[in-house]
Amino acid sequence: EIVLTQSPATLSLSPGERATLSCRASQSVSIYLAWYQQKPGQAPRLLIYDASNRATGIPARFSGSGSGTDFTLTISSLEPEDFAVYYCQQRGNWPPSLTFGGGTKVEIK
Amino acid sequence: EVQLVESGGGLVKPGESLRLSCAASGFTFSNYVMHWVRQAPGKGLEWVSYISASTSYKYYADSMKGRFTVSRDNAKHSLYLQMNSLRAEDTAVYYCARGDHCSGGVCRDYGLDVWGQGTTVTVSS
For residue A30, the distance in angstroms to the closest alpha carbon of chain B comes to 13
Q: How many CA atoms lie within 13 A of A44 on its CB side?
A: 32
B97 phi, psi to nearest 5 deg: -145, 145
Contact (CB, 8 A) for B82 and B69: yes
Most distant CA atoms of chain B, gap in Å:
48
Question: What is d(CA B29, CA B48) in angstroms, rounded to the nearest whole number?
Answer: 19
Rounded (5°) CA angle B125-B42-B2: 100
Of B103, B94, B3, B109, whose CA–CA distance to B54 is shortest? B103
Q: Which residues of A touch B59 (CB under 8 A)?
A: 95-97
> pLDDT above 70 covers what percent of chain B?
100
Of A77, A84, A81, whose CA–CA distance to A104 is shortest? A84
Compute CA B109 distance to the chain's CA centroid, rounded to the nearest angstrom.
17
Contact (CB, 8 A) for B71 and B93: no
B109 touching A (Cβ < 8 Å)? yes
Among A6, A23, A46, most B C-beta atoms within 10 A, so best to mutate, is A46
The residues, any chain, with a CB within 8 Å of residue B87's CB and separated by 6 or more, are B14, B123
Query: What is the mean pLDDT of the segment spanning B100-120?
Result: 94
Q: Which residues of A touch B95 (CB under 8 A)?
A: 43-44
pLDDT in tens, A46-77: 999 999 999 999 999 999 999 999 999 999 99
pLDDT in tens, A15-38: 999 999 999 999 999 999 999 999
pLDDT of B33: 96
How confident is residue B120, by pLDDT bands cut at 50, 70 and 90?
very high
pLDDT of B87: 97
pLDDT in tens, B56-104: 899 999 999 999 999 999 999 999 999 999 999 999 999 999 999 999 8
pLDDT of B110: 92
pLDDT for residue A98 is more than 90: yes
pLDDT of A94: 79
Of A20, A35, A26, A31, whose CA–CA distance to A4 is shortest? A26
pLDDT for residue A93 is more than 80: no
